[in-house]
Structure 1
Amino acid sequence: MRITGYRTLSTVQEWGRPVGDANGVFTDGMVPVSIVIVETDLGISGVGIGPHVEIERIFAAIDGEDPRAVTTLYDRMLRHTFKAGHAGPVFGTIGSLDTALWDIKAQVAGEPLWRLLGGRDRRVPAYASGLDIALSDDELVATYQGYARHGLRAAKLKGGLDIERDRHRLELVGEVLTEAGHGRRPGLMLDVNEAWTRKQAVRHVCELERTLDLIWIEEPVRRWDAEGLATVGRGVRASIATGENLTGFEQYPPLIAAGAVDIVQTAAVGGITHFLRVAALAHAHDLPVSPIGNSLVGLLHAATSVPNHLTSELQELSAPVGITFDLQVEGGAFVLGDSPGLGVRLDEQRISAADRRPPPPASEGPHVRPERAGRRLLAEADGLPPTRRWPVAAPTPASRDNHEPDGQIHRPPARQHFP
């Protein structure tokens, strides 16, 4: 069996509302999604969702190879980029190809990837993450009520620009999840996407912690600042979560050695081999791992096979245009299906139509770091919706039935208690 070629596609995730973080917002809710398809001489193709920057140079490392040799081919791709480096989208391209190879390997075996990797339980605990910084109070509550109807009882909000606004929004979502959980304490996290200095981070989080119990604070300072992350970790009660924007296994040991990370994250675009290696490193230091991203399917399969998976991010409840995943969200978890491989199906006609949509402007959005990030003297929430209290009504018996259709409260296995 040999790799014979590749194709690339582009589609969009249609959120139907603004999405973003402290760095910026996609006001139209249209987020580009890139796809890589690896083809073989047996007619079996694998799908990877992620960038395809410099793919011709990277693909040369695996062209003509047996796709089942996934982990060694991953290292070949790294070696093909070592001079210029594998930072940013280049690392994402390696991850996209790696994910496609795992898809092929599992299809050849006739098994879903989660079973091929040694997973026993197809359920992967999840938390809600709405990329919600631009939402009004009403929109915020409605969004997390939607997550709650799927059994989610933990949520990560975007913030970092205004302490009182963050407090108010966390309290609103906490009320929603508490009501949906019939009084059980929810899990709350805050993601500021590297928006603060060390002192700003400690001051902001400590003020929130006067009235709130946060499970983690995510990327409080720059991703590579091991000393700074450790300083923040010593100054707050919440755990420090980071790692989604690291582009290589070698970037994790300095953070772990400095005590700079409590929740080890990897992004979906990093690929499956990267996740498995980082998870093993974290496990050696008794640290949990948590995958990040929208199109997470590859890492969800891999998460079933590692002993230290904590929870995985659930962003949009619908898939990108033209993509179908063999999974469901119920009882607060992703539930993987039995389709061989990743269980990803592509409708290329719909994807082609989506590809004709104008992309978001490159000069603005959450992918562009603001000029004054980390140098704000006072709160800068200009342009974001004002906050106002919206009482959350107690659920009626009928609404409780909607929250838990089978009348049961679904709980993850004992080893995965979260929150």
Structure 2
Amino acid sequence: MTTMNEQQKIKGEFQSRMDQNELLNCMRCGFCLPTCPTYIESGYQESHSPRGRIALMKAVVDGLIEPDEDFEKSLNMCLGCRACEPVCPSGVNYGHLLEEARDIVHQNKKHSLPVKAVRKTVFKGLFPHQNRMRTLTGLLGVYQRSGMQKVVQKSGLLKFLPDSLATMERVLPEVPTLKELKNRPYHLEPIGVQKKKVSFFTGCLMDTMFMKTNDATLKLLQLAGCEIVIPKSQACCGALHGHSGEKNKAKELAKQNISAFEEIEADYIITNAGGCGAFLNDYGHLLKDEPNWAERAKTFSKKLKDISSVLVEVEFHKQELSLPSQVITYQDSCHLRNVMKTASEPRKLLQAINGATYMEMKNADSCCGSAGIYNIVESEMSMKILDSKMKNVKETQAKTIVTANPGCLLQMKLGIEREGLSDKMRAVHLVDLLLEAVGE
């Protein structure tokens, strides 16, 4: 609960920090409403729509309402999927408003000691340090391979966790050994004629828990004729921090990444995670008020490309790609589609696979409910959104659901498990499926 003193501080910072021109850009037309999952799943509550949240932010700025618990709940209920942005006739940068509002609230609210401890551990003690991420992932690997996981699952201990978390434990990928996690490449030559020189953003979760997908990405880039350089000094993208009210730490990580990639003269900076890519893409906005970094951030972001975009550019889809006969469908990564504007390229690659029949899913461009840690902190709403998504998945009769983001991948695996379809359906990252299709 926020105290009166905290509310006054929040209100003061809203008045000084929020972009009032951006708030006024919203015409209240309602074009965003049909695209907003929380508005639909909440029974069409205005406070859970982009238009409603902007109105609440403006009301705080104007001193008409207090930034109380209901206000904070409205902000926290937002997935941050940014599906409202492409359909907005005024071009409101809703995602930027949301991040600023959340940062103001969190920086001026006194958290309980347990919450403080968790936030400090996650945002400062873990994600910014890749060696610690590797150690934690290595321990998860021991849990999986030692037989401990089966013992815990049979013991019934997981029933004390929320249903979504207990199910999530079952769908986590099999992680590499600690030795494999530490043995990462920094430079790879192309296979065949070189077409591009690229640098690769490895990410924190992607190069630990999803390391096999990163390896598949590197192999595809090599097969596509790319020389690959991987900066040793790169860090977490900062998305988790930026979305959770830790903007200053996000800026630190952004500067570290910009400096790391500036040292490499590459055609593109490649990502394979929609969430990371979108935040990297927004570095120019994140650092817009810092003269020494603003232009460098824009230059960095201009080089950014999703793996699917560069594969299409070098005509990888014209290679011989084949899979056993099956129906495949695609779930968009919200940030890949809505921020990086990449939607046709993954589909073009999937449609080029011989033996596979591509079936477009109804509302494939709507959020699956993952949204970083949203499926943990807002589990009830997340599961409502996932249940709606799985209805559309089942209509395609697909054997394989393809995604382009680790959070989406885990969420779709969670949906498959919840629906009891594990023996009939699977969820895979786009690059893992393409590596299968190329016969590697």
**TM value normalised by structure 2:** 0.28
Larger RCO, structure (CA 8 Å, separation 6 or more): 1
**TM value normalised by structure 1:** 0.29
More helix, by proportion: 2
More strand, by proportion: 1
